[in-house]
Structure 1
Amino acid sequence: MTVSELFESMTGRFNTSAATGMNKTLQWNITGEESGVWGFQIVNGVGQLVPGGIEKPDVTFTTSDKTWMAIAEGKLDSMKAFMTGKLKVTGDMMLAMKVPQFFPVQAS
């Protein structure tokens, strides 16, 4: 799976019950060979992918394509990636900590 395919699958994997009543925006700035910017908008608990990103996201994650794929595939814990500097987070840290609930990992 590519980084693009992973982001395209996120809407289908979004756990709406974890985001009930929520209105927030998330953004990923991915570096490396498969670099790009992807946003995700949550409106009343419904999620929608925003390719190209969002102007002023509530939280932004910056990481390499390889690190993001490892996190998304359940091979790397996001908190460990954050603590070791592989994943940078800016903005609403409380929201950032809820993201794993929004997108449960489906081990391959």
Structure 2
Amino acid sequence: MTVAETFETMKSVFNPAAASGLNKIFQWDISGEEAGKWAVKIADQTCEVIPGGVDNPNITLIMSDKNWLAIAKGELDAMNAYMTGKVKVTGDMMLAMRIPQLFPVKR
């Protein structure tokens, strides 16, 4: 699975019930061989993926392509990755805590 494919599948794993009352933009800045930016806009319990990112997201998660793929596959725990410096977060940190409910990973 490629980085782009993981973002294409986010709509299919999105949990609208967890997004009640949420109107925010999450962005991933991915470095490495598959570098790029992807934003996910959540509004009215819907999810829209925006390739290329946006100018002013509410939260930005910064990581390598290898770490993102491992997180997306459920092989790397996102909280552990953050605590060990593999993932950096800028913006509203509390939004990061909602990602596992918004996009449940099958383990």
TM-score range, shorter chain: over 0.9
Counterpart amino acid of residue 2 in structure 1: T
1:61 corresponds in structure 2 to: 61
1:88 corresponds in structure 2 to: 88
Note the 1:1-108 alignment, pairs <5 A: 1-107=1-107
Counterpart amino acid of residue 70 in structure 2: A
Counterpart amino acid of residue 31 in structure 1: S
Runs of 4+ in 1 over 3 A off after TM superposition: none
TM-score (norm 2): 0.97
Distance in structure 1 (CA, Å) of the matches to 2:40 and 2:77: 21
TM-score (norm 1): 0.96
Distance in structure 2 (CA, Å) of the matches to 1:106 and 1:33: 25
Aligned residues: 107
Q: Structure 2: give runs of 5+ residues left out of the alignment.
A: none
Distance in structure 2 (CA, Å) of the matches to 1:80 and 1:7: 21
Distance in structure 2 (CA, Å) of the matches to 1:62 and 1:21: 25
Q: Structure 1: give runs of 5+ residues left out of the alignment.
A: none
Kindly provide the CA deviation profile for residues 70-105 of structure 1, in whole angstroms up to 9, marking residues without a partner as x.
111111110110011000001001111111111100
Counterpart amino acid of residue 68 in structure 2: W
Kindly provide the CA deviation profile for residues 48-67 of structure 1, in whole angstroms up to 9, marking residues without a partner as x.
00111011000000000000
Distance in structure 1 (CA, Å) of the matches to 2:10 and 2:59: 17
How many angstroms does 1:21 deviate by? Answer: 2.0
